[in-house]
Structure 1
Amino acid sequence: MRSQIGLAVLMFLGLLGMGLPAGGVLSQTITVVGTPHLSGLDRAPTDEQLAKVVDRLAGFEPTQVCVERMGGERIQAQLLDQKQHGMTFQPETHGRPLATVIVPAGYEMRGKLERGPVAARREARNLLQEWGSLELADRIRAIGLLVAGFEFHSAVLNWSYLDEAEREAAGEVLGALTVDGLNSILESDHEAYSLAVPLARRSGLHELCTADALEDETRGMRTAVEHGGMDVIESAEVQERLEEHRVIMMEAWQPDAGEEALVSLLRYTNSEDYEAMDRELQWETLRRFDNDEGAFQRRLMYWHARTAEISAELYRALAQGSDERVLFIVGAAHRPFTEADLRSQPWLEVKPARELLSDDTQ
């Protein structure tokens, strides 16, 4: 028996040493799509321009679509320590719509359905597995449970499956706060909804995977401010270079260039040229003109801590099956660092999004 175990161990180690499986094909695949925040563009993309991007990205055939948003478990954990994480939920920093929609609606729906967030998420996922055979009342309940579990992004996705009459019926159960929130976020230009929701629907999905850690963003912002970072930001040298970055991004977005305009913009934000430009004019600028307190060196380390947590969430998504294909939509500045982290894993194939967005893609 001992010799058989030893042989099995040697065979396993031998397979690791071989690297890729026969044929060089990895079963776990991910693509990271870097976007500017579409809700911040000077002119919103048209429905046709959004649809062209969705068409391109759908060619990846994802089994999961992930967005740069915090999931219910992380939100729940941070709400338990308001002293530490209160800034995360302030609308005037980066808490919108956490503070204005997700958390208030979650608390209200917990009371309506008499379910805590953990039980709500568990029951919702059980119902979502049977979505195709559910009566409308159970579909509405599943959406309400997602809201109660702070999985608002998945609630938005499933809300999009309901027609107008079904949404009207849902309002009687869910209430105005939740319904208004679902409608407003579904109609948002933000890429987590304007791109991720239709992509997830193309694949028949009922959950949006979430990958973010705003607690580290909060720590980084607070640290930079506490160590004089605002004086650095407001200096003429830094403002000049940040303005150069802004002008480049404005020139990259040509909304009157037809249906492929947004594809063209994303082709740029997923390119090596963008990666070099963004690093030089944003991150290296802040490091180069940093103060003696190291305000932005500290800020950058927290930003990388956030990136590491994002990667951890993506690895958990990939662990859901043996042949997952995960498509992650994230702010363009994060994309190079997240890709580098993912590429460090020899068992994972990272497919560049620019291949899906290239001129040759049909």
Structure 2
Amino acid sequence: MALSLGLALTSAAQAQPDLSKLDKDMAGPRAQVLVLGSMHLSQLPESFDPASLEPVLERLAAFKPDIITIESISGEDCDLMARHPTVYDPESTARFCSHPVEAHAATGLDVPAAIAEVNKTLADWPADPTPAQRRHLAAMFLAADDDASALTQWLQLADTERRAGDGLDATLVARLGDLATRDNESYQIAARLAARLGLPRVFAVDDHTGDNLQVPDAEIPAFGKAIRAAWDSAAAQKQPLRDREKKLTERGDMLGLYRYINRPDVRSIQSDGDFGAALRETSSQHYGQRYVAGWETRNLRMVANIRAAFRDRPGARVLSIVGASHKPWFDSLLGQMQGVDIVDVEQVLKAE
């Protein structure tokens, strides 16, 4: 009897509710989420022409997203990290955060005040904003450390209206001009697509607060060596992927490139060659496992930010543009959300 009772209690403890069917009788529309795994355009050769992205933009526009998210840290999180320099190394965060000193000087607003002004402005945003309203909002976005959203507004202005005024000074106008030409998927894909669709902004969802691994300074060389060795162990299986990506890039076939890097078999090989290889790393300090734990924590927090972006928009059509390595985690985690369907990116990007 004792054995039977023990087995029964063990079985009961292991049984879990099946959340995959929780929304089967949900009233209301289902959200459609499309995760586009992207190249980091800044890493492409100088011969890269942003105009070659047009076939990709056309297909994404046909999806008609209401919300676009990008792999960028929000001004709010950058402000948080700046206020805790003993927790988040300023030299490391400088790679992700611009710290908008010039926008602060032009508008008189620090990041928290600018975010409040952005929220206030968008709460009463008209269907047909004036050029002055767009310039003002672009300035507020720059002060809020949200460059991609500022560019989204800037690109919706006629050429003759892209000038200083309404919070934009000559320095900020020059910055917006620079952003428009910068090789970055947040600008060349997300902001341009948002402007084409008439959206007011994009949403920055990246998060580096969870992958801030506590590796002692003395161990950092060993940590880096262990992870690089793990990657090198899988180099042979990943080389054909790199070769194919290089050929497509050299041909300027960005649609073919995006179709290729979003294929499930390609993502599976890449995931195993990076994170699977790290998990097979055998150091006594378990460096590989810690690396993957930081990666998964980052993905969890990024997905939470995406969910927050459309929590008040049941039935939203969401496009998440993110480095291709994130895509398997995004699809898996977002697919567990209630009332959310994952859209097949291969179908969206298919050739005519």
TM-score by length of 2: 0.83
- Cα distance change on mapping 1:221 and 1:349 into 2, 3 Å: farther
Alignment partners' CA distance in 1, 2:304 and 2:74 = 13
Which residue in 1 is equivalent to 2:287? 295
1:127 touches 1:138 (CA, 8 Å); kept in 2?
Answer: no
Alignment partners' CA distance in 1, 2:243 and 2:311 = 39
Where do 5+ consecutive residues of structure 1 fail to align? 1-15
1:316 to 305, 308, 324: 308
Alpha-carbon shift at residue 35 of structure 1 (Å): 1.3
User: 1:289 aligns to what SS in structure 2?
Assistant: coil
2:238 to 245, 251, 256: 245
Which residue in 2 is equivalent to 1:124? 118
Alpha-carbon shift at residue 345 of structure 1 (Å): 2.1
Give the letter for the 1:166 counterpart: E
Alignment partners' CA distance in 2, 1:45 and 1:26 = 40
Q: Tell me which moved more, 217-226 or 159-168.
A: 217-226
2:72 touches 2:204 (CA, 8 Å); kept in 1?
Answer: yes
Which residue in 2 is equivalent to 1:200? 194
Alignment partners' CA distance in 2, 1:168 and 1:271 = 43
Alignment partners' CA distance in 1, 2:214 and 2:350 = 35
Alpha-carbon shift at residue 251 of structure 1 (Å): 1.7
Alignment of 1:116-265 (within 5 A): 116-128=110-122, 129-130=124-125, 133-170=128-165, 173-176=168-171, 178-219=172-213, 226=220, 228-235=222-229, 238-239=231-232, 241-242=234-235, 245-246=238-239, 248-253=241-246, 254-255=248-249, 257=251, 261-265=253-257
Alignment partners' CA distance in 1, 2:217 and 2:302 = 20
Where do 5+ consecutive residues of structure 2 fail to align? 1-20
User: 1:168 aligns to what SS in structure 2?
Assistant: coil
Alignment partners' CA distance in 1, 2:153 and 2:173 = 12
Q: Tell me which moved more, 290-299 or 218-227.
A: 218-227
- Cα distance change on mapping 1:166 and 1:131 into 2, 3 Å: farther
2:333 to 332, 341, 354: 341
Which residue in 1 is equivalent to 2:260? 268
Alignment partners' CA distance in 1, 2:214 and 2:236 = 22
Which residue in 1 is equivalent to 2:17? none
Which residue in 1 is equivalent to 2:88? 85
Q: Deviations over 1:305-337 (max 9, x none)?
A: 000001101111121312211100000010001
1:42 to 35, 40, 45: 45
Alignment partners' CA distance in 2, 1:250 and 1:43 = 18
- Which of the pair is proportionally richer in helix? 1
Q: Deviations over 1:234-268 (max 9, x none)?
A: 54x7435336535522323423546xx21111112
Which residue in 2 is equivalent to 1:4? none
1:227 touches 1:294 (CA, 8 Å); kept in 2?
Answer: no
Alpha-carbon shift at residue 153 of structure 1 (Å): 1.9
- Cα distance change on mapping 1:88 and 1:215 into 2, 3 Å: farther
Which residue in 2 is equivalent to 1:51? 54
Alignment partners' CA distance in 2, 1:216 and 1:193 = 25
Alpha-carbon shift at residue 75 of structure 1 (Å): 1.6
Alpha-carbon shift at residue 216 of structure 1 (Å): 2.8
- Cα distance change on mapping 1:223 and 1:272 into 2, 3 Å: farther
Which residue in 1 is equivalent to 2:14? none
User: 2:109 aligns to what SS in structure 1?
Assistant: coil
2:74 touches 2:205 (CA, 8 Å); kept in 1?
Answer: yes
Alignment partners' CA distance in 2, 1:352 and 1:222 = 42
Answering whether residue 101 of structure 2 is matched by residue 107 of structure 1, we say yes
- Cα distance change on mapping 1:38 and 1:244 into 2, 3 Å: farther
TM-score by length of 1: 0.81
Q: Tell me which moved more, 119-128 or 307-316.
A: 119-128
Which residue in 2 is equivalent to 1:10? none
User: 1:57 aligns to what SS in structure 2?
Assistant: helix
